[in-house]
């Protein structure tokens, strides 16, 4: 509030000074919220817990299984022999998963309605964002692998440099689009 030293201040003086002080307070408050928003963009959100980070990073299992399903044979040719047993175990799990009718659709819609769409569970925006990102990456990867294997058929002993370049570029794009958001969700 304003303190007046004159014996009888005018009412209009009090209103003008009060409005100026309120304007300055609002300006400082707006600057503080803008500063908080910029800090959240640069340094990440501060109220994200370790549980939120783990729950958000788990969402990238579905697109990772999709990429392994799509590129299992080229991966077998690239990766060392000791990793083949893990690839084939994931492939077996994926065959069971894909043998159930409409399971991918049910999984997609379940994840969407449970985590992404606002509901009574009220998950943090961080978790909802990363689950939506993983669902979009899953659709992107499926479309990318479908396009690649329909346009450029892959054979196991292919030596055509153009075909191999397209294959490895496609795999690098897909794996890169999964690895970066996964670590981003772990770091917060």
Q: How many residues does this entry show for the chain?
A: 188
pTM value? 0.67
Identify the weakest region by mean pLDDT among 39-53, 67-81, 97-111. 39-53
185 CB burial (10 A radius; 0-12, 13-18, 19+):
buried
Mean of pLDDT values over 109-130? 86
Distance CA 8, CA 126 (A): 56
Integer-rounded Cα Rg, in Å, for the chain is: 27
| pLDDT(17) > 70 | no
Distance CA 76, CA 73 (A): 5
């Amino acid at each position: 509030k304003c303190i007046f030293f004159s014996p009888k201040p005018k009412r209009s003086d009090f209103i003008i000074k009060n409005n100026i002080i309120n304007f300055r307070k609002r300006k400082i408050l707006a600057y503080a919220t803008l500063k908080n928003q910029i800090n959240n963009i640069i340094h990440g959100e501060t109220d994200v817990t370790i549980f939120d980070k783990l729950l958000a990073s788990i969402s990238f299992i579905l697109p990772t299984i999709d990429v392994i399903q799509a590129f299992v044979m080229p991966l077998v040719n690239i990766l060392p022999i000791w990793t083949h047993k893990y690839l084939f175990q994931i492939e077996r799990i994926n065959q069971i998963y894909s043998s159930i009718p409409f399971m991918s659709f049910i999984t997609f819609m379940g994840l969407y309605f449970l985590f992404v769409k606002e509901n009574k569970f009220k998950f943090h925006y961080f978790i909802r964002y990363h689950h939506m990102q993983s669902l979009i990456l899953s659709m992107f990867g499926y479309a990318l692998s479908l396009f690649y294997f329909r346009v450029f058929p892959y054979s196991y002993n292919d030596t055509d440099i153009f075909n191999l370049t397209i294959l490895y570029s496609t795999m690098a794009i897909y794996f890169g689009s999964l690895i970066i958001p996964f670590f981003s969700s772990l770091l917060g």
